[in-house]
Amino acid sequence: MIDSIKKLFDNYIVVGVGAVWGWIITFLFPTEATKTATIAVLVVMGLDLITRIFAIIKQSKGLRKAIKSHKLTSAKFAKGTLDKLIIFGVMLVISGCAYQLVVIEELATWFTQVVFTIMFLRDVLSIIENLSEAGVSGLGLFKHVVRKKFTDYVDKDVLDKEIKEKKQ
């Protein structure tokens, strides 16, 4: 048994990478709530991407027409998705730093909750707008509620700018 355990530590590279990976995970996800919030935001980002594709296909009246007209290209989606993931990664690191640097844990928790809430609501609003563009009706109430909640956290000017950039 002891020989088996010793063999696990023979490869110093694997042990070193494992230790660094463990530190990174502990730094980025200091609480179980952070892990759950990260998964929720990533799922909503994925749904946003799917509903955007759906809206473009519906507006173009078919997948082939959307591809032929270059409204549906992998380059556009790769850039937008990569931008969102980079922003999300940076915010995750900043939240991790907040837990390490802030003496009062409640302040770090509040900051992290605000970051994840804003990112979550922004993508939920985008999903509702994508579905509206695809012709799904009856989303006005949801859009109003999410927009109201989003404006509680963010200035109206920022929200208008996000909507304008999305349409371009």
The answer on 48 and 114 residing in a single domain is yes
Pure H helices in 29-139:
32-60, 63-68, 74-101, 105-133
The answer on 63 and 5 residing in a single domain is no
The answer on 89 and 60 residing in a single domain is yes
Q: Domains in the chain: how many in total?
A: 2
The answer on 55 and 6 residing in a single domain is no
The answer on 52 and 15 residing in a single domain is no
Among the ranges given (60-64, 96-100, 150-154), the one the predictor scored with the smallest mean pLDDT: 150-154
The answer on 56 and 99 residing in a single domain is yes
The answer on 137 and 70 residing in a single domain is yes
114-139 pLDDT per residue, tens: 889 888 988 888 888 888 888 888 77
The answer on 36 and 4 residing in a single domain is no
- Domain, as residue range, for 64: 31-167
Helix (H, G, I), strand (E, B) or coil at 1: coil
